[in-house]
Structure 1
């Protein structure tokens, strides 16, 4: 060490491993290496609660009415450190909940309120989330009071819902059950930009075609929840903004009517804050120094809050009475002509021309002063876009209709990522089954072990191959997404549109298998659902393959799946669950910009699997002959259909060489003779090339782990088959 180093500022005579600003990761040194971190999300080691803590059980002991009353009391108060607007926190709590839930996107089910992820970077520091940190801190006394019985995700959504109730809206309901995470979901892809609010062209294939927004993104710019309130790239053009709104809200699972209702209802309460200079705001939450104690965007002007509050930079309320649910938003929008103007902070907004004094809202902190209302570019889109205008005019004429549509849309917005209704907790859960909750009929039968064994024999003797049974069960279950708890084998929607026609499900083969299963079902004395028969068929075939490998094991099976109907299936919504790739079956729909192994990791994380589980499943699926279309790439065994560890044995055998022979195709050749023994893809070879995955592959290739491989494969198989069985967890 240099003798002078200790005298220099920032130098230290020991390791800087804890200095996160200076530390380098392996990906800094090798940026093209496969990053497996996404499979370590939600690691239980970061959870400070006891291992046996059950949030659902804790929530059941919660006095929900007492919580709601505490929220009402807080809403109608004003705290010295962060004064309320108009003597009410209605707008604050609505916005905090909205921006928690609003990050949801239907393409991959990520984002949303379910995990309380707004507490962590990057969401806690998005420019669009300015001062949601104040909303969470205002709620802290309630969280502190009810503790483990009430997650942050549930509390924030409940506070927003109660706020609407206090404003006078008849809300649709509330369901608890959101389980908080304890560290950032840093591997969610929010866009490739390294600059907040970078120009929108960065995430569009064609900037003039707003439908070309990059998948799976929903927001138009890095750091936004939806669209830019000042207009596309800050240029006021409501018709162009309407294009962004239509795409963005659709990617959240909302249609035009819901989009209009949410925009109107969201801006019926509260106000925008821009009475100051945005450039003077301090660092965001994640970048602020320790003395700010987790609060960001410190405003040095005046009091820094109250009349000096800075959020979006836009300034003003949308309605005459910003703490009441009413129809004033549409009254003002359609009664007056609006002109382009700027806020005190310089943000672009719209203000009415020649508005009556009595239609102006009072100042948020001085009731003796009246201010002009304002509208965003997105608000003006409701007046100028022909389709949006028709809907908005309908709501204007029928306020009761607006209230009903908004209440339902708010419920959908804040609950969309919670999965089936069976996961909802509390007395305020509506009884109605909603199509976006993917309802599945319950079953009323039970099966004894003897009956299950008898069914296994029927399925194995049906004339269907083991490969047919395993691949059908896999294809049915692989749609599960732990991000929003959608998909999976329960419901047997693989036999319905649109799933029955997905290319990845090999429709011709699938229909042949389903026809045989329906034939078996028709001949049963006790009716068993097709969903159960699909899973049991795959399970029986796996059990048979294990026994053929010399491992005498019985694969467990839990019946109870129902069969959904076509009427219970939202075809448009389910289209987003269509697989475009499946590394487990060595298939991808077409060539993509990302490598197949990267897509494998994304699918694996959505299914809730770990890296070791991914590894053992790949090895087993290959030898079980489950490749798409019967392809032979990666089938590194001479005992096809037997659940052996041959894939790993042969992948790690140095008697072979590996050479590329085309795009995503490799030959595995005998090192001595040069003869081609097998072929493989990148997904296959990455388990020998990546140092972490190879370490797992070597475990399963060992002579003493042949039985371990079988048992681990079965455990991972059962995890996939039962991922959506919330009734037995």
Structure 2
């Protein structure tokens, strides 16, 4: 075994997660435009090919009821269902289900076979059809094939070719376990951020119940917690579970531990990426059954038909918990008056439906049951609710509607897509932008205020799910305008001044040119950077591309946007209140996590931190971490003084988060610093980067690199520029 630095020093700050932002890991090259390739497809032909696979059983893997539809629904659901709102990571984009760890999760047993069944379709269309899109589209086609009318489909999920190792899945070291550390205060139904799934290696919750026990009350708590972390309401949650469980069956004809081989990433080389090898168990009809979860049976009498069978069975019958043939807890109906389902391989033989603990939990939770009963009384409402919730599930991680492609993209735009109005005016040109910068700099706003306002607006962006960013100027709306990190009172002052400049400019025009507040906020930040560089003796121009418009409060999902609030912001030297309920141990780990979401490299993260300190664009006391006597001037003082052995560092609190910077000779305190400052001198790789900017010839490079990195952050959400 070759040991890595991380093996020798497990507490070493992981920076390699930012390296993926510096290069393209896939084979297509930087010029590859997947959206353009996708639109070359004969879309209906692709759907026909998927339909053909679904209904043409292949001997090497059995198709329940002669139809792979339920199998493909599970595949699509488990691909998209990993998404969580806390950090926007996971989900269907990237086709990550084909890469570890998701490829080998216990909850994904045998989904490797579903993808292999689709291999001929993928090979036929090549680069025009990503696995990310194919997996999801197969789920849609499966629903339609079994009589359900879907709400639509959008392509545009470009494939990843490397595992997303930055995703934090939980503290456990064994599959299908739940550590008390997974929950805040060790309480069921109160997951720590950024987690959404309640069990290591499962997509959602344990279908047997919390900790593998048939506890319906605890199961309902976990369901509500988990689905809320996917931005799903109670109504959407019930619709998804009831709609998904209308189809297919679960497989537990025997004990998985005794009859199923290792997962794909542990399987022998001759299995060629397939895992979970098993001797198929002969079912009651003499056909071949398979083993996945260890729970056995269908939910209703019509497993490949859209109907009300699941809801009717759940509400109209009493259910009791039993151990099934696979050794797992499941629920059987009390009495024998329930319609039986055909055997998966012989319609002449029948079997009794079952329920999961998570199903029965819906019936026993008052709010969930009310929704179930509404759906039973109004099947059309159920159909519409499932269609919209399924569409949201599959597309939640794709970002704004302009990233959606294909002939089945709905005309309707949803608030969860963070819509931004189209402009009904012409955008400012270079001449108007220069005029506006002069007016901004002539106002009472300082370099620090302008830079902080622009950063507060743009740095909400997350590359994981393409949410946030400066477009829309949502920094002036709830919840962002009230976030503590944005210093609401100071933000209000800056916004009022910029709104006044905007109103005066727009009122003065006798043409169709107008400036949005979203553009003006960015322009103000750019002007601040240019002035700070000029104060240091450098003549720079920060690129500016107009085109942003202003969102409204009714187009902003307040609850969903709360997840974007930073608990720590290293760039503004904001440590928060210390009461952080997540799985990251240190502020510097959260710094790297935020940098990864901003798609930054190690040098970009480094220069932005140093440059923001020079601008005085830090939370509260602008002198914390500034290390300069010239705040508002874009110098390399931060790095030069950080690495200067003239100073020593002494913690001022037990948490070692805040430090005093003392002159070694006099003992006098020169400045105050945080861990978010000192890590750039402590960590070897960050120190090596800081050393470049601290050098006598490093200041000019700092200015150049800061302008580039700043511009990158300001335009991360400008998909129209791609």
For residue 641 of structure 1, report the CA deviation from its aligned partner: 0.9
CA distance in 2, matches of 1:259, 1:306: 35
The reply to whether residue 419 of structure 1 matches residue 399 of structure 2 is yes
Q: Which has the higher mean CA deviation after the structures are superposed, 575-584 or 341-350?
A: 341-350
Deviation per CA, 1:143-185: give whole Å up to 9, x if none: 1110001111100000001111111111000011111111111
Aligned to 2:231: 253
Matches within 5 A, 1:561-580: 561-580=548-567
Q: Which has the higher mean CA deviation after the structures are superposed, 254-263 or 441-450?
A: 441-450
CA distance in 2, matches of 1:306, 1:392: 35
The reply to whether residue 496 of structure 1 matches residue 470 of structure 2 is no
Q: Secondary structure at the match of 1:417?
A: coil
CA distance in 2, matches of 1:330, 1:32: 50
* Match for residue 716 of structure 1 among 696, 709, 720: 709
Matches within 5 A, 1:634-653: 634-653=625-644
Deviation per CA, 1:25-71: give whole Å up to 9, x if none: 11221112211122123663521112311111111111111111111
Q: TM-score, normalised by structure 2?
A: 0.95
CA distance in 2, matches of 1:335, 1:35: 54
Tell me if structure 2 keeps the 8 A contact 1:41–1:185: no
Matches within 5 A, 1:481-520: 481-520=462-501
Structure 1 regions of 5+ residues with no counterpart?
1-21
The reply to whether residue 385 of structure 1 matches residue 359 of structure 2 is no
CA distance in 1, matches of 2:668, 2:315: 78
Aligned to 2:593: 602
Matches within 5 A, 1:43-54: 44-54=23-33
Distance 1:45 1:523, change over 3 A: closer
Q: Secondary structure at the match of 2:320?
A: strand
Tell me if structure 1 keeps the 8 A contact 2:253–2:281: no
Structure 2 regions of 5+ residues with no counterpart?
none
CA distance in 1, matches of 2:161, 2:522: 34
* Match for residue 50 of structure 2 among 54, 71, 74: 71
Q: Secondary structure at the match of 1:383?
A: helix
Aligned to 1:545: 532
Q: Secondary structure at the match of 1:323?
A: coil
Aligned to 2:292: 311
Tell me if structure 1 keeps the 8 A contact 2:62–2:289: no
Tell me if structure 2 keeps the 8 A contact 1:84–1:306: no
The reply to whether residue 264 of structure 1 matches residue 242 of structure 2 is yes
Aligned to 2:310: 329
Distance 1:100 1:504, change over 3 A: same
The reply to whether residue 449 of structure 1 matches residue 430 of structure 2 is yes
CA distance in 2, matches of 1:719, 1:169: 43
Matches within 5 A, 1:285-434: 285-302=264-281, 307-356=288-337, 359-434=339-414
For residue 83 of structure 1, report the CA deviation from its aligned partner: 1.8
Distance 1:306 1:661, change over 3 A: farther
Aligned to 2:35: 56
* Match for residue 63 of structure 2 among 84, 87, 108: 84
Aligned to 1:178: 157
Distance 1:410 1:568, change over 3 A: same
For residue 719 of structure 1, report the CA deviation from its aligned partner: 0.7
Matches within 5 A, 1:678-693: 678-693=671-686
Deviation per CA, 1:389-440: give whole Å up to 9, x if none: 1100110111111000000000000100111111111111101110100000
Matches within 5 A, 1:579-598: 579-591=566-578, 592=580, 594-598=585-589
Tell me if structure 2 keeps the 8 A contact 1:276–1:301: no
CA distance in 2, matches of 1:367, 1:429: 38
The reply to whether residue 656 of structure 1 matches residue 637 of structure 2 is no
The reply to whether residue 439 of structure 1 matches residue 419 of structure 2 is yes
CA distance in 2, matches of 1:391, 1:118: 32
Deviation per CA, 1:678-705: give whole Å up to 9, x if none: 2211111111111100111111112223
* Match for residue 630 of structure 1 among 621, 626, 649: 621
Aligned to 1:187: 166
For residue 340 of structure 1, report the CA deviation from its aligned partner: 1.9
Aligned to 2:443: 462
CA distance in 1, matches of 2:146, 2:557: 33
Distance 1:634 1:447, change over 3 A: same
Q: What is the alpha-carbon root mean square deviation over aligned residues?
A: 1.6
Q: Alignment length, in residue pairs? A: 706
Tell me if structure 2 keeps the 8 A contact 1:42–1:182: no
The reply to whether residue 704 of structure 1 matches residue 697 of structure 2 is yes
Tell me if structure 1 keeps the 8 A contact 2:280–2:288: no
CA distance in 1, matches of 2:296, 2:20: 39
Tell me if structure 2 keeps the 8 A contact 1:42–1:181: no
Tell me if structure 2 keeps the 8 A contact 1:275–1:307: no
CA distance in 2, matches of 1:200, 1:257: 29
Q: Secondary structure at the match of 1:657?
A: strand
Tell me if structure 2 keeps the 8 A contact 1:549–1:642: yes
Q: Which has the higher mean CA deviation after the structures are superposed, 30-39 or 621-630?
A: 30-39
Aligned to 1:533: 520
For residue 646 of structure 1, report the CA deviation from its aligned partner: 1.5
Q: Which has the higher mean CA deviation after the structures are superposed, 155-164 or 669-678?
A: 669-678
Deviation per CA, 1:125-155: give whole Å up to 9, x if none: 1111111111111111111110001111100
